[in-house]
Amino acid sequence: MYYVYLLKLKGNSIYTGSTPILKDRLKRHQNGLVESTKNLRPIKLVWYCEFNGRLEALRFERYLKTGSGQAFRNKRLI
């Protein structure tokens, strides 16, 4: 299983990511081991979704990072 997730960061910005092991990835974010979020802690998991395949998860993650994906995220997911 693969997960796409959204984190709310300091300053109310949103981080979008994907991972096969959600619990471990969240711990890495919380402990400052992820370069892109280490200075934006504390973090809060606000949404996640499980996918059967890696490619499916990566495609949805990429979509959420587009302009229309961000609009969808803001209207429907958070």
Structural domains of the chain sorted by starting position, each given as residue range(s) with its CATH number in brackets = 2-77 (3.40.1440.10)
* pLDDT tens digits, 32-76: 999 999 999 999 999 999 999 999 999 999 999 999 999 999 999
φ, ψ of residue 47 in degrees (nearest 5): -165, 145
Res 59: pLDDT: 98
pLDDT at 52: 97
Tally of CB atoms within 10 A around 35:
7
How does pLDDT run across 10-21, given as a tens digit for each residue? 999 999 999 999
Q: Which residues of 2-22 are buried (b: 16+ CB within 10 A; e: fewer)?
A: bbbbbbbbeeeebbbbbbeeb
pLDDT of residue 50: 98
Q: Average the pLDDT over 24-29 and give the result.
A: 98
Q: Which residues touch 48 (CB under 8 Å, ≥6 apart)?
A: 3, 4, 5, 6, 22
Q: Give the three-state DSSP class for 4.
A: strand
What pLDDT shows up at residue 14? 97
